[in-house]
Chains A and B, each alone.
Chain A
Amino acid sequence: MEKRIVYKVPGGKLLKIFLLIEKRTMTIKDIRITGDFFAHPEESIEGLEQTLRGKPLANKALFDSINSFIHDQQVQLIGIDARSLTDAIVRGIL
């Protein structure tokens, strides 16, 4: 199942996420995070996408994965954060 999610981060930038969902397990088969935000280093977003593959579409699990990736890789996000990324992705369930 393919989903295109457009999510305006409150007080931040616009996220456009392309999500491929494994319907049987409700996990992320593939994800592409696009938008007019900033991330340093830029290439870390590709790593984050990689990390999210296979993860369940559940609020807490997603937030924890994103949050620990950002901390471990020392990613600086501007205009988005772990919370808003999670909120945007879980819209894929709707």
Chain B
Amino acid sequence: MKDQWRLLLTGDRTAAENMAIDRAILVAHSLGVVPPTIRFYRWKPAAISIGYFQSLNEEVNREACKQLNIDCVRRITGGGAVFHEHELTYSIVVSELHPLIPKNILESYGLICQALIEGFSHLGIASQYAPINDILVKGKKISGNAQTRKLQTVLQHGTILLDVDVDKMFRLLKVPNEKLKDKLITQAKERVTSLRQVTGGDISFETVANAMKHGFEKTFDTSLELGILTKEEQMYAKDFITSCFGNDDWNDMR
């Protein structure tokens, strides 16, 4: 009998809720009270998340975010700033001690990204892992990923772009050099793609979630059972919103 993992579909959430839920699952799994978990989710309102080591003021045009009702949050994972709008976001929480999880962090990126690649393949789309943390379709980035390890537990989350609005993204994100902005926008349009561009049409969140579910099941030789956030996880998440992701002290920490 296959290992059974939990699947969570938590729908639309705020940025602080989403980051708090991922961390809550990490804590619950580290205590051994919930199985390894895959979650698929969205952001409402649309949001920008920055990497743990970034500075919101340095990366984000906060005035523009306010005007367009865009949430901003610092992740517990490293990596870059991401504009979350038309995408499927996943997270995976699994013990570092799980026999399938490589001790080596880069190798574990590769393995988790392999699940997404299987998922794309289920949609009939060929994709490649581009270390450190990207997945490409026809040479263009379609997915970015970020991992942390705490309490002997791996948390990796990442995005799969359903559609992308590069112009809007550049209104919200700051660039290192304003003079180069037009050039950077042109470059980004050449370097980033989405499922909409790849398939030439609309593809639903549910279709992509289903494909990615297959990808994770295949890669981790498991079956994903739809579950719910436990009472404890909801409680941890609420605490993390207050102490962390919904708190300016955290979001403006660097």
Within 8 A of A (CB), among B63-88: 76-81
Whether A78 is near chain B, meaning CB under 8 Å from some CB there, is yes
- B53, A35: Cβ atoms under 8 Å? yes
Q: Compute the total of residue contacts between A and B using a CB distance below 8 Å.
A: 59
Whether B14 is near chain A, meaning CB under 8 Å from some CB there, is no
Given known contacts A34-B58, A42-B78, A79 and B53 CB-to-CB distance under 8 angstroms: no
Question: Which chain A positions have C-beta within 8 A of B51?
Answer: 35-38
Indicate which residue in A6, A36, A76 contacts B53 across the interface (CB closer than 8 Å).
A36
User: Closest residue of chain A to B51, judged by CB?
Assistant: A36
Q: Describe B's contact surface by its main secondary structure.
A: loop
Question: Which chain B positions have C-beta within 8 A of A34?
Answer: 53-55, 58, 254
- B132, A79: Cβ atoms under 8 Å? yes
Whether B8 is near chain A, meaning CB under 8 Å from some CB there, is no
Binding site for B on A (CB under 8 A): 6, 13-14, 16, 32-42, 45, 76, 78-79
Q: Please list 27 pairs of residues, one from A and one from B, whose beta carbons are closer than 8 Å in the complex, sorted by A's number.
A: A14-B80, A14-B176, A16-B55, A16-B176, A32-B254, A33-B53, A35-B54, A36-B78, A36-B79, A36-B80, A37-B51, A37-B53, A38-B77, A38-B79, A38-B105, A38-B133, A38-B147, A39-B78, A40-B105, A40-B148, A40-B149, A42-B52, A42-B53, A45-B53, A78-B105, A78-B106, A79-B132
